[in-house]
Amino acid sequence: MDASQKQSWEVASTEYEAALEQYRHFTGLRRQDMLFVTAIQGAALTIIGGDLLHMKAAYIALSCIAFVVILLGMNSERRLTAYMGSYARRAGVIESQHGMTLVSDAYASVQGCRFMFSNARVFLLFYVLLLLAWLVIWIVNVCA
């Protein structure tokens, strides 16, 4: 291996390790976001409690805050998905250049499973369902 190839490998190796570490980090952040958003929704629903279908102004304000937290969670999910995709693509390029297959094989094995959906889609669907739930609750309160 000449000096140029060695330097290329060292750079690629460093990028590859960083990509894998960032991917692990973003996976943890994604789950923390999901937990936070879910906890806020649970807290809001617990506080509102039996008045859910006849909310006072304070409860409507609280539900608006919970709604905004869902929007923040959706934004975070979309950003993390984009970042994770960038790192995975770069890792794939490095693998193809150096004959490696760790990320490529893992991705292929997950994609090949039936009825296994990506977290990006499932988490986004979860957030959309929470948004719809608040919209239904607000509509019921307006019509009551």
134, 125, 137: which is closest to 69 by C-alpha?
A: 134
Measured CA to CA, the distance from residue 127 to residue 37 in angstroms comes to: 9
* pLDDT one digit per residue (tens) for the chain, 144 residues: 677 777 788 888 898 898 889 888 998 999 999 999 999 999 999 999 999 989 999 999 999 999 999 999 999 999 999 998 888 888 888 888 888 888 788 777 777 777 778 888 899 999 999 999 999 999 999 997
Element (H or E) spanning 38, and its range?
A: helix 3-48
Measured CA to CA, the distance from residue 113 to residue 90 in angstroms comes to: 24
The pLDDT score that the predictor gives to residue 115 is 77
Domain boundaries, the chain: 3-35+55-143
The position carrying tokens 């991917």 is 23
Task: Report the predicted TM-score, pTM, of the whole model to 2 decimal places.
Answer: 0.84
Q: Give, to the nearest 10 degrees, the angle between helix 57-98 and helix 3-48.
A: 160
